Structures are given as structure tokens and as C-alpha cells.
Amino acid sequence: MSEDKKTIIVSCSGASNTGTTADRVARNLCVDNPDRNDLLCLAAFAIRKQPSIKKLQDADKIVVIEGCPSRCASEILKQGGFASNLVVEMVADYGIKKVMIPVWEEKDVGRIGKDVQERVKRLG
């Protein structure tokens, strides 16, 4: 990792349990490692707010945490001209059944957060 650059975490933060889990994982990664990780305001990026664009331009890596196979966050990034270094998704990667209720399980947030950290480390 570059000394002064961070991994930018992008979450879909959707309305379902999977979107909410993705959001909790993303926030915890940033709170637990503020020197290494920083969270993107995806809504600000979607309306082309300059600080969010600059954050992505300055990123060491871009990691996307998606709630479900719709992969909305990746699509928003792509439409804005950015690609990600890693995408994880709650249904296919972690076996969470999607329901349209914004709840989450702490045990899922913990195990997924650890796995995402490992996968980011393997990126080098």
C-alpha cells in the first residue's frame, strides 16, 4: 500500500438485510482501521460531487461491498468512470438470504469483515 493512500470502501447500503449488512461491514472496516480505510459517500459520487470523485482518484485500492447480485454500487462506479480492485457480495459470497427488511446480524458482520480484510491483504 502507498504510504499516504487509503483503500476506499464503497457499499451499496441497500434497503434489504443484505444491503444493511454490506453497509455495516463497510463502516466497521473504516472505524476499525481509519489509517488504512476510508468510506465513500456513494450518493454524493452518484451526483458527481467533487470531493467524492477526488477520493476515488486518490485511492490506493477501491473495494466494493455489494448487498446482492444486482451490484448497484459497482454499476454506479462504472457509470462514473471507475473500476474496483475487489467486489464482494453478501448473497453469492457469504450465503445470506435476501429479505426486504433493513436488519443485520452482528455475527455475519464480524465474519464477513474479517474475510474482506483478508481478501484486501491478498491484493498486495
Binding site for ligand SF4 (CB under 6 A): 12, 14, 16, 18-19, 66-68, 70-72
Least Cβ distance, residue 111 to ligand SF4 (angstroms): 19
Report phi then psi at 66, rounded to 5: -100, 150
Least Cβ distance, residue 58 to ligand SF4 (angstroms): 25
H/E run at residue 28: helix 17-32
Distance (Å, whole) CA 79 – CA 64: 14
Q: Which is nearer to ligand SF4, 18 or 35 (CB)?
A: 18
Least Cβ distance, residue 56 to ligand SF4 (angstroms): 18
Residue 86, beta-bridge partner list:
63
C-alpha neighbours within 13 Å on the C-beta side of residue 79: 11
15 near 98, Cβ under 8 Å?
no
Q: Which is nearer to ligand SF4, 1 or 100 (CB)?
A: 100
Q: Which is nearer to ligand SF4, 57 or 102 (CB)?
A: 102
Q: Which is nearer to ligand SF4, 67 or 113 (CB)?
A: 67
